Structure 1
Amino acid sequence: MQTSDQLTRFIFYLCLISILLYSFLKKIRGRLWKIYTCQQSSEAEKQFHRQNSLTDLHEAVAKNSEANVRKAITNGIPIDLIDHAGQTALYYGCERGFANLVNILLQHGARHDILDVNQTSPLWAAAQKSHAEIVLALLQHGADPDQQANDNTTALYHASYEGHLACVYYLVRFKASVHLAKNSGASPLFVAARNGHYRIVKHLLKYGANPFQTQADGRSPLHTALLYSRTRCAQLLFACDPLRWIPQVDIYGWTHLHFLAKNGNIRMARLFFHHVRCELKPIDFEQIDSFGNTPLHIAMFHRKTRFANYLIESGFNIDRSNFFQWTPTMIDVANRKNQARFDESSPKIYLTQLLGTYRIDYTAEEDEMRQEVETYVRLLIFEMEKFDPLFRHDLICSGSYYERTRIGVPNEFDYMINLSEIQRLCTFFDDVNYPSGYGRLYPLSTNEAHEKLRPYLEPTIQCVSSVKIRKRFYQLLTSARAFVIHQETIQQFKHLKFEWTSGDKRCGTAIHAEWYGSRYAYLTIKIDVVPCLTVYRWPRTAKVTCPLAKPEFQIIARSPKPDQTDFWRISTSRTELVSFLSLVDEIKDAYLSLKTLRYINPYECRIDKVTYVADELLTSYMIKSEFLHEISRYPQSQQWIKGGLIHRVTSILKRLHRHLQQGLIPSFYIENYNVIDGDDYARLRSFEIKYVCSLLKQVQEKARTMNRRVTRSQTFAASESIDPSPPLRVRASTTSS
């Protein structure tokens, strides 16, 4: 009997170990395969790889040439060789949608489980690009539908996100898990509801997707459907168990009605109230979030007046204060406050009046805002480093807030993330033959540098790609938010509310947050985070000496053109910050005046369904370059005060207008570098010129009025100084006496 028990336990533990071993091997099989191919195929790589790390087979697939694919296979090129990014010829075909080539490669035994450097499979790439025929072929050949990339996304996640219905059908048919979520907690159902793909929502619910599965911040699929006005998706989710979805709130205490208030859709609010009132359980609609805001506060913050009136008619209290003593009534008064009027009879102090109204005072609340934003960014980049030690960093503060040149409200912060580990492994060259203001980043001639940077090298030139670094940075930063935006972390922040929205810019990442405070009732804050490297010398193409005690400049991950990804742009942001902090206020006022004019004169244009606003047409970098040139011409502070201020501003606007017409705004620091972005300028040129012209006319009119009044006052003073001849009657009486 004892022997039988021992045998049973032995079999149990053996099965348990087998299951764990199988799970482990399944998880790392892609990495094991890479190790195997590195050891066994080194000779094949030397024989068949060219300088750009591709084989003839890769090239044939990229060109969609069936004849060349068959020829490469016949010539003995190993079908599963990978390029510098870890991608096989099969991956190329799946990503590009070449179904005939994919079938040929699969027939010749191409492996579909080899993952690239981001742990994405050929099936993942095909599903993301909506190549349904290829998705079906890969699944029929045994591809794993639940393979997860670095950010835990699956093929089903991306098919659901993009709305690729056929791909979703095939993946679900082959038993893809409907529950596997991205590292942020977003499930396939969540992203389908967010983007309004109601057929996919219906299909996922039919096959067991959990409608109550939330993101890391507690948002449910219904929350996001209400926020983005996805009516059909919301109706499908309303039909789920109301006793479970009604009490759901996110980590900030936002109810479904808070999300509706931010959106302002009255039709969806009526639909929501209809489903809620069908339940007999009483509900407090005026629940407050962690900042004390009711749904009515949220509607007023976002200027959803009709929705706010709807809530007031439904019985919401308009005099209830949040934790910062703002009532909905007070918020409404602040929103309706008219723009300040200026003394039209005093053009000489017109700009001074503008600055007095729109200059930021940098009080205790602004400093608290800075501290919370910096803490948030430091938490994010700390998590990034844990994901990938290659992206070890230092934080560099830059931009208008730290230059003390922010106008209006402090709703934008800029940070440069110095990638110190990559910096240690590289050297920067800014040759005179390169495009002005750009250079190349080459790895050091060590095994460590080439091994760590191999996925980020440009295959032909063997220099570090700015685009690959920037995209990896974006992926790491967005993934890090899942480990920062949770219940424990938000306790550190009294005013800041994190948002999931972000954007991959051409030089970095823009993330967003919201601020609730005493002085600023509500602000939407944009945080620009730019990866960079520091070079401890002054650029070879500089045309002025470095003002810093220890010369340095940064290079940022931005290329001159989309196809020139081997170049990095030289940035003097750190130098500009030090220079602006040392400027006297009389001179700095001209720069602030220009930014104030842009702030109070909104302008927008729409091109190819994209809306551009004033600060995108007339960027701060453009204004700053012309301002620094003006300082070099008029270095004395006396030339910038009183009436001189409006003349300096007029002069800068004239030069801006002329240079925009020429398509060239020269950099102050770098020789022959054009501040204007060539791609943007081609689209925006006419609008930029028109906008600057309107600002110039406004300032010139003030200057002309001021000159006329000065001339009149001088004429009047001169006439009073002359003793006029007495009238004839007075002269006659004087003579007779």
Structure 2
Amino acid sequence: MDPRRGKERRTSKKAGAGTPKGSAQSARGGSEKPEAFSPASGAAISSSGRCSPAGKSVPKKSARDPQKMPPGPGAKTAPLRAGDSPPLGAPSADERERQKAPSVPPEGSEPSASAEPPLPVVRCRRPRGTGSRRGGGADPALERRSAPRPEEVGSPGRESASGWKPRQVLKNLKLSLGDISPAAEVVNRVVDHLLRRFQSSDSEFKGISVLHAGSYYERVKVSVPNEFDVMFTLKVERIQLDEYGNSGAYYFVKFKRNPKGNPLSPFLEEEILSASKMLIKFRQIIKEEIKNIGDTDIVVERKKRGSPAVTLLIRKPKEISVDIILALESKSSWPVSTQEGLAINNWLGAKVRTKLRRQPYYLIPKHAKDGRSFQEETWRLSFSHIEKYILESHGQSKTCCENGGMKCCRKDCLKLMKYLLEQLKKKFEDRKELDKFCSYHVKTAFLHLCTRDPDDSQWLPRDLALCFDNFVTYFLQCLSTQQLKHYFIPGFNLFSSDQIERVNKEFLFRQIEYERNNGFPVFWNEF
């Protein structure tokens, strides 16, 4: 039996071959070149850079109808070669004539799930004090974005260029000490109890330790402290990683040598460390132990398909969700797929990059998607600890946002964007289009944007509204081009068609565009 086939019989639908390199298209992520869909009306496609660490310039584009994106007046198009299909959404000659007639949409109308009327566009400048990505020279071409009403247009440096007040939103989102302390106390007590259980037993997980991760510990949590992420890490030595397909992110794990007495031997299947077996055992121990935690009402939520987390729901005194994730810790060199990732040389510096790449990396039992099924024996790379470090030390200046140091609005922009996605998911919770989008997509886009705009002067607090608008523009571009490269694994595309369907990206694009055109009404739903 080919060990790369893993536990094929465990998959919800048999995945076929064990995907040697070059196969398993669904695991490739970024190996395909996705086709950009036509963005919705009035969308801003920034000229500042694509969704990649390189930050190279791309031609400016103004968006039109979500289903059809005709060339503008005077636009030149290349003739089609024999056998070529016209571009997606390309109009006929008659349609182009009809589209020349002006159309004025009803003000403030909400987008449908399929189309939206065209809106005007306005040119807006980047925040004052910013130059090229290296900090010198003038700002490049002016950028285009969806226009607010004429009376709402402000000048750079004002609270908002479109009438809404981001500072007030952030004030509403600020977590109070009275909310944080009780929630953190309950979570810490539960985590400490589980940790003692794992460390005191003679089980396979005796050497486990805790690594706090996620938005709460990165200090970018928004709204209420009701979700926590905790990694239970287990050191493994002398392991060999066999890449699953050409994903760059998913691997089979083997031991180079398997001496007698290896506590993980019970989880081996034909030399492969079974992710599914370890996760089942890990989950079983947690389910048994939470019964022994007094004064707390806790249940283990039903396992989500393909999820690596064991989710605890603490129901008293307040409802809190805690994702506990098993992770293997390896101190060997990072895999080859990460060599071009973590592009922070022009932002945090080459020395910091070298230092970070000497840190361990982690592997979590995340199943690779294989068509409509999952390969249950794969492990996925995780760099949560590096992401946490970057967010804590986010400035080009070492004293950025410290007492007495220069302030920036990077984390404020991240909080606003996370809250925007969170509120949209809540607004459409009875639909499925936004189910696969998560805060990690927002954080990844944010890290790319910081790479593109590395100077602290490009993130001045007085320019919060414009910096956030740049972030929204950038995220819309990622959706439009269907390209969001993993920050550490550039070959893995988080927005590829097999990760998230195109229709879902179009839906989110239209909703974000509507929010921006109308002053983000979704921000005020709860206040």
TM-score bin, normalised by smaller chain: 0.5 to 0.7
Once the 2 structures are TM-superposed, how far is the Cα of residue 506 of structure 1 from its aligned partner? 1.5
Change (3 A) 1:559 1:501: closer
For structure 2, the residue ranges without an aligned partner over 5 or more in a row are: 4-8, 15-151, 154-158, 343-352, 395-400, 402-407, 521-527
Distance 2:420 2:506 in 1: 15
Please name the residue that 1:580 is paired with.
391
Secondary structure of the 2:222 match is coil
1:506 aligns with 2:321: no
Measured against aligned partners, the alpha-carbon deviations of 1:217-258 in whole angstroms (never above 9, x if no partner) come to: xxxxxxxxxxxxxxxxxxxxxxxxxxxxxxxxxxxxxxxxxx
Distance 1:559 1:419 in 2: 19
CA contact (8 A) 1:395 1:416 kept: yes
CA contact (8 A) 1:383 1:483 kept: no
Once the 2 structures are TM-superposed, how far is the Cα of residue 560 of structure 1 from its aligned partner? 1.7
Aligned residue pairs, count: 338
Please name the residue that 2:511 is paired with.
694
Distance 1:428 1:653 in 2: 40
CA contact (8 A) 1:381 1:480 kept: no
**Larger relative contact order (CA 8 Å, sep ≥ 6):** 2
Please name the residue that 2:173 is paired with.
358
Change (3 A) 1:401 1:506: same
Measured against aligned partners, the alpha-carbon deviations of 1:521-565 in whole angstroms (never above 9, x if no partner) come to: xx4211000000112243432223355385222111112225433
Please name the residue that 2:420 is paired with.
597
Please name the residue that 2:457 is paired with.
638
Distance 2:390 2:461 in 1: 23
Distance 1:387 1:569 in 2: 27
Once the 2 structures are TM-superposed, how far is the Cα of residue 630 of structure 1 from its aligned partner? 0.7
Please name the residue that 1:104 is paired with.
none
Distance 2:517 2:488 in 1: 29
CA contact (8 A) 1:603 1:613 kept: no
Distance 1:621 1:535 in 2: 23
CA contact (8 A) 2:482 2:496 kept: no
Distance 1:650 1:696 in 2: 11
Task: Report matched runs for 1:170-181 at 5 Å.
Answer: none
CA contact (8 A) 1:440 1:566 kept: yes
Please name the residue that 1:245 is paired with.
none
Distance 1:541 1:680 in 2: 19
CA contact (8 A) 1:360 1:407 kept: yes
With the length of structure 1 as denominator, give the TM-score of the two structures.
0.42
Task: Report matched runs for 1:485-634 at 5 Å.
Answer: 489-490=294-295, 497-504=297-304, 506-516=307-317, 523-536=318-331, 537-542=333-338, 543=340, 544=342, 545-546=353-354, 548=356, 550-561=358-369, 562-583=373-394, 584=401, 585-601=408-424, 602-604=426-428, 612=432, 616-634=435-453
* CA RMSD of superposed structures (Å): 3.4
Once the 2 structures are TM-superposed, how far is the Cα of residue 508 of structure 1 from its aligned partner? 1.8
Tell me which of 467, 474, 488 is aligned to 1:655.
474
Task: Report matched runs for 1:430-469 at 5 Å.
Answer: 434-448=246-260, 452-459=263-270, 462-469=271-278
Change (3 A) 1:526 1:452: same
Tell me which of 178, 182, 188 is aligned to 1:374.
188
Please name the residue that 1:415 is paired with.
230
Please name the residue that 2:489 is paired with.
670
Change (3 A) 1:688 1:546: farther
Task: Please identify which structure carries the higher strand content.
Answer: 2
Please name the residue that 1:389 is paired with.
203
Task: Please identify which structure carries the higher helix content.
Answer: 1
Distance 1:549 1:662 in 2: 30
CA contact (8 A) 1:554 1:571 kept: yes
Distance 1:558 1:364 in 2: 35
Once the 2 structures are TM-superposed, how far is the Cα of residue 580 of structure 1 from its aligned partner? 0.8
CA contact (8 A) 2:230 2:323 kept: yes
Q: Percent identity over the alignment? A: 20
Secondary structure of the 1:548 match is helix
For structure 1, the residue ranges without an aligned partner over 5 or more in a row are: 1-49, 53-57, 64-343, 491-495, 517-522, 704-737
Change (3 A) 1:565 1:672: same
Change (3 A) 1:691 1:513: same
Please name the residue that 1:95 is paired with.
none
Task: Report matched runs for 1:17-166 at 5 Å.
Answer: none
Once the 2 structures are TM-superposed, how far is the Cα of residue 613 of structure 1 from its aligned partner? 8.5
Measured against aligned partners, the alpha-carbon deviations of 1:31-64 in whole angstroms (never above 9, x if no partner) come to: xxxxxxxxxxxxxxxxxxx777xxxxx9xxxx9x
Task: State the one-letter code of the partner of 1:541.
Answer: S
Distance 1:642 1:382 in 2: 44
